[in-house]
Structure 1
Amino acid sequence: MRPVRLELSAVIFALAEGREGLEPVVATTRGAGARDLPTVAFDPDRHRTLELSLRDWVAQSAGVTLGHVEQLYTFGDRARGGGDAAPPGAPHVVSIGYLALARPQEARGPAIGWTPWRRHFPWEDRRRAAPLIDTVIAPALAAWAAAAPGQRAPRV
């Protein structure tokens, strides 16, 4: 049986001053190229709960004290961590996702970068007339549903 590794991932939101006033921002790690969500392996020898582990890691690595934290989802399918292609003895990765809020004044942690929410979710940007959801996503869903009306229309 493969060992299991628990990873804690956080979607951390804050409000930061942007070009158009306060805007929601998302924390991402600063790495070589790609931006990832802040993620850490759970160490049960250091922390008695998953949430305390996440809070401590974010505070230590990014200098951010989290406000509200809520567990959202657990991903544990075999494909994570390499799945069947993983080297022998490699752990099976179970990732637990959290939503966390940070205070606006802490939206400048040294180990993380902050990107506008709308960069990750452009269809949620409702500041202008014709947002992406109305001009691209909704018409594509309507066409998809019309292609098989008896099967797809109830889903839309």
Structure 2
Amino acid sequence: MRIPLYKDGVIISPNHISSKKLSVMAEKEGGIVKKGHDEGLKMANSLLEEFELPVGLLPLVNVIEVGYVKHTGFMWIVQQKKVEHNFKMISKLVSYDTEIRGYMEKKRIKKLKGVKAKELMLWPPVSEIIVDDPPTGKIQFKSLAGVTKTFPVEAFAAGQ
């Protein structure tokens, strides 16, 4: 069961508040917040490993803050500027916004915000990422439009 964040006794959606307010509220809810590039990157990679997701999935640059609320699975990442990364093995260009948010579960990130993958001339948002369980060596990326793309997990290894 997911426990929501509260403000003044009212349930709020973390997708509609600023990262600064998120930090304060998350700490009150028992969340973890790491500031600065080195500590934030270390925490982001640690979360990916903990949830059995490829560590190269989020190629972050100039991280300002990473936060995670364990009892809800909600995580967020703030970086100084938008990053575009080309995953060479699959020839896929992906854009990571200054704020990335989502809910982490084992082998899955859902309700993802701030990630887009280039498809022809369009940049549809990625709303969910799932590593096949049981393992098949594949990872799926879903968009809100219902489009699903499947790639080898190894394409998202660190340094790719």
| Relative contact order, higher structure (CA 8 A, sep 6+) | 1
User: TM over 0.5: same fold?
Assistant: no
| The structure with more helix, counted as a fraction of residues | 1
What TM-score, normalized to structure 2?
A: 0.26
The structure with more radius of gyration: 1
| The structure with more strand, counted as a fraction of residues | 2
What TM-score, normalized to structure 1?
A: 0.26
